[in-house]
Amino acid sequence: MPCFDPIDVSERLLDQRIMSAEPVTGGRNADVWKVRCPTGVFALKRYPQADGTSRRRTECAALEFLVSQGVQNVPRVYAVGTDPDVVLLTWLDGTPADPIERSHIADCVGFVRELQRLSRSHAARALPLAKEACLSGIEIVRQIEDRMRQFEQTEWPDERVVTFLANEIRPCLAVAREPAKAWHEDLPIQYRTLSPSDFGCHNAVRRSDGSLGFFDFEYFGWDDPVKLVADFVLHPGMSLSEELSRDFIHLVRTLFADDHAFMDRLRAHLPLYRVRWSLIVLNPLIASATAKKPSRSERDKIVQECLVKSRRLLNGMAVSLC
């Protein structure tokens, strides 16, 4: 595979000299560079090879839709490359939204309100379902079971993982799935909303005027607003306090008042989403288990860190946020 040169790729897309291309860190799935040229600053984003084309197309379509509808606090697509899968976006200037404040929560609710408004537009009908959309309780359980099978079929060199899956994850799933059985049909279209599907302050910057700008729309599409809310309050990349989580739920629930079952569905599904996230944070274990020669100390560290994160999410099952 030829070496990826962000300066060369950016020069071809912009057709001008690039002064610098600095890698941007922050735990994103895609690689991002801050690109400076005589006419401005851009974000060059390279998508993973496995599903890069799909993610690039989804993000470009999402951003073009949002901008066409007058949304101001997202990047704009400037240029697209297909070999490799890259996009050049306008740069969202700002600082990380950390620590998270009440004003940030209000901005996030405002963005959800905007998405709900756009969900009623004719142009939104052509947009796809969000990545791993969950339109019923049965679908949430199905996705969790798929993840469980992947973990349970892996040959683990560390017995702690096997014990954790059998003695902690499985019992929590057994309890959490019971209330969700009532929601066995897909949510009617009129109650769905557009969702970034990875929404939160971890994918936002605080701009010079104090407001938030949002990025990362690779999984954008239609979903149950309950999933958007659950993912927001549970996302380990934010580690929201219980107080801020309650604030978000209190503010956002009024946006979906027409859906009279919204809060009942959120109460029923939130424990399942906790289990789902407890499995997501275990993903690094798969790579460590299949790596050829990780040292014992490296593997022990990965296992310990993942189990701590997962238990923290599971232990929150008893905490009622709604």
Residue 264 lies in a domain: yes
d(CA 24, CA 31): 8
- ∠214-220-225 over CA atoms, to 5°? 90
pLDDT score for 291 = 65
Phi then psi for residue 217, to 5 deg, are: -125, 35
pLDDT in tens, 38-52: 999 999 999 988 776
In a domain, 29, yes or no: yes
Q: What is the pLDDT of residues 245-256, one digit of tens each?
A: 999 999 999 999
CATH code: domain of residue 314 = 3.90.1200.10
Question: Which pLDDT value is given to residue 52?
Answer: 63
306 and 247 inside one domain = yes
Question: CA–CA distance from 151 to each of 145, 147, 155 (Å)?
Answer: 10, 6, 9
Look at residue 149 and tell me if it is in a domain: yes
Give a yes or no: residue 1 inside a domain: no
User: Above pLDDT 70, what percent of the chain?
Assistant: 95
Instruction: Give the domain range for residue 302.
Output: 102-318
Pairing between strand 204-206 and 95-96? antiparallel
In a domain, 278, yes or no: yes
At 208 the pLDDT is 94
- pLDDT value at position 293? 62
* CA dihedral over 143, 63, 230, 282, signed as positive or negative: positive
Element (H, E) at 278: helix 262-280
What pLDDT score was predicted for residue 298? 83
In a domain, 97, yes or no: no
In the structure, what pLDDT confidence band is assigned to residue 181 with cuts at 50, 70 and 90? Answer: confident
d(CA 215, CA 42): 13
What pLDDT is attached to residue 46? Answer: 94
Residue 96 lies in a domain: no
Residue 154 inside a domain? The answer is: yes
Sheet containing 95-96: which strands, arranged edge to edge?
A: 95-96, 204-206, 212-214
Mean pLDDT of 21-35: 83
Helices marked H in 136-169: 137-152, 159-164
Cβ atoms within 10 Å, residue 30: 17
Look up the CATH number of the domain holding residue 37: 3.30.200.20
- The secondary structure of 73-110 as a DSSP string is SS--EEEEEETTEEEEEE----EE--S--HHHHHHHHH
Q: Give backbone dihedrals phi and psi of 24, rounded to 5 degrees, phi first.
A: -105, 130
Residue 300 and residue 213 in one domain:
yes
Q: Indicate if 47 and 155 belong to the same structural domain.
A: no
pTM value is 0.92
Residues 152, 29 share a domain: no
Degrees to nearest 5, angle at CA 163 with 158 and 169:
120
Task: Give the mean pLDDT of 17-43.
Answer: 88
Q: Please name the residues in contact with 75: beta carbons below 8 A apart, sequence gap of 6 or more.
A: 43, 63, 89, 90, 91, 92, 213, 215
The total number of structural domains in the chain stands at: 2
Q: What whole-number distance in Å separates Cα of residue 270 and Cα of residue 278?
A: 12
